[in-house]
Amino acid sequence: MNFDNVNRELFSFLDHSPNAFFAVRNMCDLLEQAGMIRLYEGAPWSLAAGRGYYVTRNDSAVIAFRIPKADYTGFQMMASHCDSPVFKIKANAEITIENQYVKLNVEKYGGMLCAPWLDRPLSVAGRVIVRTPDGIETKLVNIDRDLLIIPNLAIHMNRQVNDGYKFNAQADMLPLFCEKGEESDSFLKLIASEAGVSAQDILDTDLFLYNRMPAVSLGLNKEFIASGRLDDLQCAFASLKGFLQASPGNSVAVHCVFDNEEVGSATKQGAAGTFLRDTLRRINRAMGRTEDDYLMSIASSFLVSADNAHAVHPNHTDKTDPTNRPYLNKGIVIKYSANQKYTTDAVSGAVMRAICRQAGVPCQTFTNRSDMPGGSTLGNISQSQVALNTVDIGLPQLAMHSPYETAGAKDTAYLIEAAKVLFSSSIEGKGDGSYKLVF
């Protein structure tokens, strides 16, 4: 495994993916380069064995799949998410302060650590919806320069700040944009100029802040990496690389990346929506298979829900369960939760361990301390649309939901190897709990 090459490509993907729209566009570019054929949900599908395809929804979720043969066994899938906790720019964003400054009105998207957003260069990226002669169209914009900052209050004006501070999103988190000048609507004009349109033609926007600090390697031997959006673009990237590198097996390989995991997934492009189910059913019909064939194929399918996991924190070792203690660079984390916030059970955990063994990569386990509720992810949410054997995994990281997170330099490559095995393999159901694993 060439960890340096993997990280170089990962860093480029992270730096060019300030939010879900860009992550999906960059994944589509890589799928296109690999010869995958673009499909549209609003057009008919004619599919052929031996070919690979991809389809997007809302420009912020993507499913790619490769059909090995018409009588395939099932679907071998990995699902991750491409959104991250962030501040969204509100409509009518400009707020003038004492006729001197202009700041931007923002609101929270998801649950972030607030403090690390302060005192660092930020910028804005997202989509604008533009008027056309016969309707509307989407343009992605990224103001690719240091543009904004959310300044802290000096310690002299808040002496108790280091004893704990409650951040108020409306009062504390609005970024400074510019000095107040003669012009009005400077922000919208900047966005319009970046999009190559006039401000009057912009009908609406979905724009988000992002941290300008690029991804880096660090540590004595460069054993760590740090970047924004490692949760969950690290898994999305590994899933895509494994998908592109896998050799076809007996099952349809399916790489899915959903939006809106950080706000509960209940959108058309989220894991609670119908995107995956619609896509699998269309594959089934396009390959001339019956409804019974579909249900039989789901019984011989496997889903890996891949979303980053909490590693043991060097300053807070007591926050981790006493016997399930993931560390950076020690491999893929299989996540367990008795109340099924994580989907892993003995069957799916065993299959995932077999995949890791076949791939020659290490795995480790995570459960929350029994006195801590922990987070949740998209695996159990997607079960209401497509119910099948599912395992929840992730890559170990620190500072989850910070705009600058830390992870291991080796773990991305481990997940690529495991994804390759997953996407090349098949799981033939022989009744509940008994499966033939074909690697």
Please provide the DSSP assignment of 152-172 as one string.
Answer: PPPGGG-TTGGG-----HHHH
CA 352 → CA 238, 240, 356, 390, 395, distances in Å? Answer: 16, 18, 6, 9, 14
Q: How far is the CB of 307 from Zn ion (least distance, A)?
A: 4
Comparison of 271 and 386: residue with beta carbon closer to Zn ion? 271
Strand, helix or coil for residue 202: strand
Comparison of 206 and 307: residue with beta carbon closer to Zn ion? 307
Comparison of 235 and 252: residue with beta carbon closer to Zn ion? 235
Number of residues that bind Zn ion (CB under 5 A): 3
Q: Are strands 390-394 and 302-306 parallel, antiparallel or unpaired?
A: parallel
| Rounded CA separation 122/62 (Å) | 27
Comparison of 49 and 263: residue with beta carbon closer to Zn ion? 263
Question: Which residues make Cβ contacts (< 8 Å) with residue 245, sequence separation at least 6?
Answer: 416, 420
Comparison of 232 and 411: residue with beta carbon closer to Zn ion? 232
The stretch near Zn ion (CB under 5 A) out of 133-141, 225-233, 238-246, 366-374 is: 225-233
What's the order of all strands across the beta sheet hosting 332-335?
37-39, 52-57, 61-66, 252-258, 75-81, 302-306, 390-394, 332-335, 363-366
The stretch near Zn ion (CB under 5 A) out of 172-180, 223-231, 349-357, 429-437 is: 223-231
Q: How far is the CB of 14 from Zn ion (least distance, A)?
A: 14
Q: How far is the CB of 215 from Zn ion (least distance, A)?
A: 17
Binding letters toward Zn ion, positions 286-325, x by CB under 5 A: ---------------------x------------------
Q: In the beta sheet, which residues pair with residue 305?
A: 79, 392
Q: How far is the CB of 313 from Zn ion (least distance, A)?
A: 17
Identify whether the C-beta of residue 94 lies closer than 8 Å to the C-beta of residue 104.
Answer: yes
CA 124 → CA 20, 148, 179, distances in Å? Answer: 13, 8, 18
| Rounded CA separation 335/376 (Å) | 10
Q: How far is the CB of 273 from Zn ion (least distance, A)?
A: 17
Comparison of 67 and 304: residue with beta carbon closer to Zn ion? 304
Of 215, 217, 256, the closest CA to residue 381 belongs to 256
Identify whether the C-beta of residue 140 lies closer than 8 Å to the C-beta of residue 126.
Answer: yes
Q: How far is the CB of 341 from Zn ion (least distance, A)?
A: 13
Comparison of 231 and 405: residue with beta carbon closer to Zn ion? 231
Helix H segments across 83-207? 169-172, 186-195
Q: How far is the CB of 231 from Zn ion (least distance, A)?
A: 4
Start-to-end CA distance of the chain, whole Å, equals 20
Comparison of 110 and 248: residue with beta carbon closer to Zn ion? 110
Of 227-256, binders to Zn ion (CB under 5 A) are 231-232
Q: How far is the CB of 377 from Zn ion (least distance, A)?
A: 6
Q: Could you say whether residue 392 binds Zn ion (CB under 5 A)?
A: no
Strand, helix or coil for residue 132: strand
Comparison of 17 and 205: residue with beta carbon closer to Zn ion? 17
Q: How far is the CB of 262 from Zn ion (least distance, A)?
A: 7
- Phi and psi at 330, nearest 5°, equal -105, 15
- Residues in touch with Zn ion (CB under 5 A): 231-232, 307
